Amino acid sequence: MKKQDDRNVIISDKLNNHPELQSTIEDLLDIAVAKTNTPDLANDIEELIITKTRELAKNTLSKWAKNKHALVCEAQEIYSNVTKSGKKN
């Protein structure tokens, strides 16, 4: 039980740090449990799920790109400082 609680806390923290992803995931979960006013036809639900999944993919890719760019810039800064700090003989 402790391991599941830890996992829940980790997931909750990650979602709280990414509200744009959290919102879409909550929408998908609401659809799964038929919590919201969802259409009654499977085709309509399928379209809604596809739309939400695309939204999630777009937001996830955007978040990844921003984070990756920041890491690359940081690595370049470190490398730049290392290569410039010293005199060649």
Q: What CA–CA distance (Å, rounded) separates 53 from 81?
A: 42
Q: What is the DSSP letter of 85?
A: S
pLDDT averages per 10-residue partition of the chain, 89 residues: 87 92 93 78 92 96 95 88 62
pLDDT of residue 83: 64
pLDDT of residue 39: 73
Q: Given 3-state DSSP classes, what are the helix, strand and coil percentages for the chain, each rounded to the nearest 5?
A: 80, 0, 20
CA distances from 40 to 2, 16, 32 (A): 39, 31, 13
* CA quadruple 70, 72, 77, 80: dihedral, nearest 10: -170
